[in-house]
Amino acid sequence: MVNYDIYISAPLFNEMEIEFNNKVDAFVRNLGFTTYLPQRDGGEDEKLLRNPELYPEASRRVFERDVQALKNSRILLMLIDGRVPDEGACVELGMAYAYNKICIGFQTDIRKFSGLQNNLMIDYSFTYNIAHTWDELREILLKIKNLK
């Protein structure tokens, strides 16, 4: 079993999302953390998901592998940008919270559920206040790194 410092939870369904996820991953790695990034570390199963005949088997493998990676991570970093948070990322946040992981949110998007905050089930699942800038994210991550 591979252990990771941080599981990066984010949507990964278009070029913009994938590019942003890679940028966050590089940022986190440059601070000295190991990461699990599903779009990179998930393997070939994501490509199989495009074939409807293989979907049930491939989707089960993707789910099980990502859940195991989450269990083997110390921290969940959820990227919250978008009109609404990604459904899969919300499930991962709930799992991480239930597994007593450190949960961090990163939201550069100004759109929110009620104009002032996200859905309370999301906002109150985080261990720290949501980071809205790269500097705030760095500050939180360095604080955690110093707690080791």
Q: Could you report the per-residue pLDDT of 72-127, keeping only the tens digit for each? A: 999 999 999 988 889 999 999 999 999 999 999 999 988 776 677 888 899 899 99
Which residue, among 37, 29, 41, has the nearest Cα to 145 in the 3D structure? 29
Q: How far apart, in whole angstroms, are the C-alpha atoms of residue 36 and residue 73?
A: 8
Q: Could you report the per-residue pLDDT of 48-75, keeping only the tens digit for each? A: 666 667 667 777 888 899 999 999 999 9
Report residue 105 as tokens.
Answer: 């949110």
Q: How far is CA 26 from the centre of its chain?
A: 14
Predicted structure pTM score: 0.90
* Sequential DSSP letters for 36-90: E-HHHHSTTHHHHTTSTTTHHHHHHHHHHHHHHHHHTEEEEEEE--SSS--HHHH
User: How, if at all, do strands 102-106 and 73-79 pair?
Assistant: parallel
* Sequential DSSP letters for 78-147: EE--SSS--HHHHHHHHHHHHTT-EEEEE------SSSSSS-HHHHTT-SSPPB-SHHHHHHHHHHHHHH
Ordered domains of the chain (ranges, CATH): 4-39+72-147 (3.40.50.450)
**Residue 1 pLDDT more than 70?**
no
- Let me know if 96 is exposed, middle or buried by CB neighbors in 10 A (0-12, 13-18, 19+): buried
Q: Residue 94 has what pLDDT? A: 97
